């Protein structure tokens, strides 16, 4: 395997890992809240957890599935934020899981040209690598918002890293 192939393999492996981590954290967060709480908005300038998840589905679809996967972009971004109580918590979670699974397949199957070619997404110019970094970072960002909102609602630690000693020092 060439050095370039190893770099691509490492990028893909870590992107998929980060996406799985965000999905796991959102799944764990949703267990803690009710059907009504998933649609609750703290105030008019903030989004409900459901709207954030719909937004994640739209963003991941636009950046990974459509752009990197080279299929038509059908995203309606405004709808992600205006929908109100039209789906259950389990339906929204399933939509997220299905979107992430499809995106992970696109990332895994991407060839070198797809990773290097620059394309326009939401008016920005990104290579395929840039698209992956954006989508993974964006997913992590909103995962943190969802976790914060659940912690605020329930006043409890969500235990994302229960059983792992996070005080370990780095080893060389």
pLDDT tens digits, 106-145: 999 999 999 999 999 999 999 999 999 999 999 999 999 9
Give domain status of residue 170, yes or no: no
The model carries a pTM of: 0.94
Please tell me the distance from the alpha carbon of residue 123 to that of residue 36, in angstroms, as a whole number: 35
Instruction: Output the domain CATH number for residue 115.
Output: 1.20.120.450
Average model confidence (pLDDT) across the chain: 95
Please tell me the distance from the alpha carbon of residue 168 to that of residue 164, in angstroms, as a whole number: 9
Give domain status of residue 42, yes or no: yes
φ/ψ bin of 129: left (φ > 0), alpha (ψ from -120 to 50), beta (otherwise): alpha
Structural domain range at position 117: 3-154
Give domain status of residue 165, yes or no: no
Give domain status of residue 168, yes or no: no
Give domain status of residue 172, yes or no: no
Residue whose pair of structure tokens reads 């636009």 in the numeric block: 62
Number of domains making up the chain? 1
């Amino acid at each position: 395997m060439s050095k370039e192939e190893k770099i691509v393999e490492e990028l893909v492996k870590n992107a998929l890992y980060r996406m799985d981590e965000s999905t796991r954290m959102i799944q764990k967060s949703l267990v803690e809240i009710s059907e009504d709480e998933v649609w609750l908005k703290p105030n008019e300038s903030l989004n409900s957890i459901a709207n954030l998840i719909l937004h994640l589905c739209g963003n991941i679809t636009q950046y990974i599935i459509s752009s990197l996967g080279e299929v038509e972009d059908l995203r309606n971004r405004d709808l992600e934020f205006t929908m109100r109580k039209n789906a259950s918590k389990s339906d929204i979670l399933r939509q997220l899981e299905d979107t992430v699974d499809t995106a992970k397949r696109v990332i895994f199957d991407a060839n070198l040209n797809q990773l290097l070619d620059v394309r326009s997404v939401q008016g920005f110019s990104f290579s395929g690598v840039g698209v992956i970094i954006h989508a993974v970072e964006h997913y992590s960002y909103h995962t943190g918002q969802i976790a914060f909102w659940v912690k605020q609602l329930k006043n409890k630690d969500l235990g994302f890293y229960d059983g792992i000693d996070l005080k370990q020092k780095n080893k060389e």
